Amino acid sequence: MPPGYNHPARVAERIATLDLVSNGRADFGTGESASRAELEGFGIDPGERRAVAAAPGAPGAAGVR
């Protein structure tokens, strides 16, 4: 994993904690990875990033076009 990269599970934990301490006022958005460092950190071929993001069960899959 690239140095300084936040694993999605850890980000989810932090957002959930923030949501709890803020009484449900936390909002969070995500975006599709674009750099090779982001993609290769999880073993994803850059040419197939949209297919991976649109896979059933992927976070935000319904919004990927």
Q: pLDDT tens for residues 17-60?
A: 999 999 999 988 877 777 888 888 778 788 887 777 676 655 54
Instruction: Name the pTM for this structure.
Output: 0.46
Amino acid 4: pLDDT = 61
Residue 5: left (phi > 0), alpha (psi -120 to 50), or beta? beta
Amino acid 21: pLDDT = 96
- DSSP3 helix / strand / coil % (the chain, rounded to 5): 45, 0, 55
Residue carrying structure tokens 């949209």? 50
For residue 35, what are the domain limits?
Answer: 8-63
Question: Which segments within the chain are labelled E, that is strand?
Answer: none
Q: Is 3 a domain residue?
A: no
Domain count, the chain: 1
Q: Is 17 a domain residue?
A: yes
Residue carrying structure tokens 């994993």? 1
Q: Is 19 a domain residue?
A: yes
- Cα 25 to chain centroid distance, Å, stands at 20
Q: Is 1 a domain residue?
A: no
Q: Is 23 a domain residue?
A: yes
